Amino acid sequence: MFKSIALLRSFPTAFRISELRPLLLQQVFNSAASQPARTMSQQALSVRPIVISGPSGTGKSTLVNKLLAEFPGCFAFSISHTTRNPRPGEVNGKDYHFVTKEEFVKLVEENGFLEHAQFSGNMYGTSKKSVRDISSSGQLCVLDVEINGVKSIKQSDLSPKPRFIFIKPPSMEELRRRLESRGTETEESLKKRLDTTKEAMDYADTGAYDHVIVNNELDVAYEHLKGILIEDLHKIQGDKLKKGQ
Ligand SMILES: Nc1ncnc2c1ncn2[C@@H]1O[C@H](COP(=O)(O)OP(=O)(O)OP(=O)(O)O)[C@@H](O)[C@H]1O
């Protein structure tokens, strides 16, 4: 029913990364897992997640990876739920929350997911709890989602309220050039990715995002993104220092 890459793009990055970029997820997961338990006397820092969206190839991963490099330990990606069986080496609660179909459906009925969908006969979803846990652990949760994910998160009661950020390409020609030069696309997948671009750009034009960043010069775009988050990042760093991390 779905082509894998098309469906993967409908999920938050946490899902995509756990499928496509396991090392990165491992790195950020480890940083989340190493958080010591808070004592009652510590005032919990609750950090607003970011929802980052934009056409494929516009530079979302490039920008987020720069943030991860400059602010190590400050970011985390949520861990998705799935009904599929673990693959060799995958760990429950680390690579995914592996659950039964019944457990998954119960969570859907309880309105526990920000987003969920079926893929190759298995269900996948990002729970609100997994995002909230990161926020309350004092880290900044990054959700890299397609337009449907953005709409679904906008309708949710996620707290704290996320910041919605759109990464815009300088032009369609440049977007195509970037996707081609990345060397990851077939002619078919390139066409699919470019086909969804107009819808994403039109949606951004409705004012759906708190911030729109044009990724022309990478360094300029990065400074823009960092500027949006810097206050939170300083708080996170201060909190980590207090905790002796
Ligand atoms: N400002 C920029 N100038 C030139 N090239 C860039 C710029 N930003 C990113 N790129 C390049 O464009 C390509 C696509 O970037 P990237 O993979 O980060 O996009 P993406 O939005 O995460 O895509 P996808 O949604 O498909 O994962 C990469 O090869 C990257 O190095």
For 209-240, what is each residue's pLDDT tens digit?
999 999 999 999 999 999 999 999 999 999 98
What span, in angstroms and rounded, lies between the C-alpha atoms of 144 and 64? 9
User: Which residues are CB-contacts of 105 (< 8 A; sequence separation ≥ 6)?
Assistant: none
Amino acid in the structure at residue 89: G
Q: Which residue's CA is the closest to the ligand 1 atom numbered 2?
A: 218
The total domain count for the chain is 1
- Give yes or no for residue 182 CB within 6 A of ligand 1: yes
pLDDT of 91 strictly over 70: yes
Q: What are 39's two structure tokens?
A: 């004592």
- Structural contact between residues 200 and 54, judged by C-beta atoms closer than 8 angstroms: yes
Q: What is the domain range of residue 200?
A: 4-36+44-242
What span, in angstroms and rounded, lies between the C-alpha atoms of 119 and 16? 13
Q: If you measure from the C-alpha of residue 179 to the centroid of ligand 1, how many angstroms do you get, rounded to a whole number? A: 7
Q: If you measure from the C-alpha of residue 55 to the centroid of ligand 1, how many angstroms do you get, rounded to a whole number? A: 10
Q: What is the H or E stretch that residue 16 is in?
A: helix 13-20
User: Which residues are CB-contacts of 153 (< 8 A; sequence separation ≥ 6)?
Assistant: 51, 114, 115, 143, 145, 162, 164
pLDDT of 148 strictly over 90: no
> Which ipTM did the prediction report?
0.98
What mean pLDDT comes out for the span 91-109? Answer: 96
| Closest ligand 1 atom to 170 CA | 1
What span, in angstroms and rounded, lies between the C-alpha atoms of 75 and 154? 21
Residue from 53, 62, 175, 190 whose mutation best tests the ligand 1 pocket (most atoms within 8 A of CB)? 62
CATH, residue 114: 3.40.50.300
pLDDT over 70 percentage in the chain: 82
